[in-house]
Amino acid sequence: MSRKASLVIVALTVFALAACTRAPMAPESTTPAATADTAVAPGETVAQLIALDQQAVAMAEQARQHEQLDPPVAELAEQISIHHRRNLTQTRALGDAEALDVTDTPTIRNQRVEEEKRLKAMGELDADAYRRGYLDAVVETHEQALEWIGERLEATDNEAIRKHLERTRDNFEDHMKAAMALRDN
């Protein structure tokens, strides 16, 4: 056997032995993408809250402008608009106070496109169908928001964001219950 071949075999043996004797990597080190997916930046949380409030306001404003909306549903739409506008202002102020990078993610941008389609479809409903469509949309979007808020409450360690999420959760919960009561009567 030639000297070059012997050196190659020795080098491969050394690499193989080194690989066998090296301590295994810690699980969190082996899957950086998985851990990055579970950690959500506070700015992303605030951006999503802004998007949720804007969605609620847009639906409420459309309902308020819809002709022949019965008074209880019109009153709910007015309350939703007021509460979510206030929350939107508070959410933006929180982002500023915490000096967060509040930028829409691709997911939020996709949600906005879907929301626009939904609003357009709701706007084309006649008066009778609109009432039910609006109430169904309020219930559905508020249920989704409550689920998301619950997940973020578990994941955040920022006390200011936690408190704001709790206040926001109460708004969504109250509106959802009111919409369900009107829808189911």
- Over residues 61-102, the pLDDT tens digits come to 999 998 788 999 999 999 999 999 999 999 999 999 999 999
Decide if pLDDT at 50 tops 90.
yes
Compute the average pLDDT of residues 169-179: 96
Task: List, in order, residues 6 or more apart from 65 with CB less than 8 Å away.
Answer: none
Average pLDDT over the chain, rounded to an integer: 84
What are the structural domains of the chain?
A: 41-184 (1.20.1260.10)
Would the pTM of this model clear 0.85, i.e. be above it? no
- Written as one letter, the residue type at 50 is I
The token pair at 130 is 């609109």
Amino acid letter, 117? K
| Cα–Cα distance for residue pair 128/14, rounded to 1 Å | 79
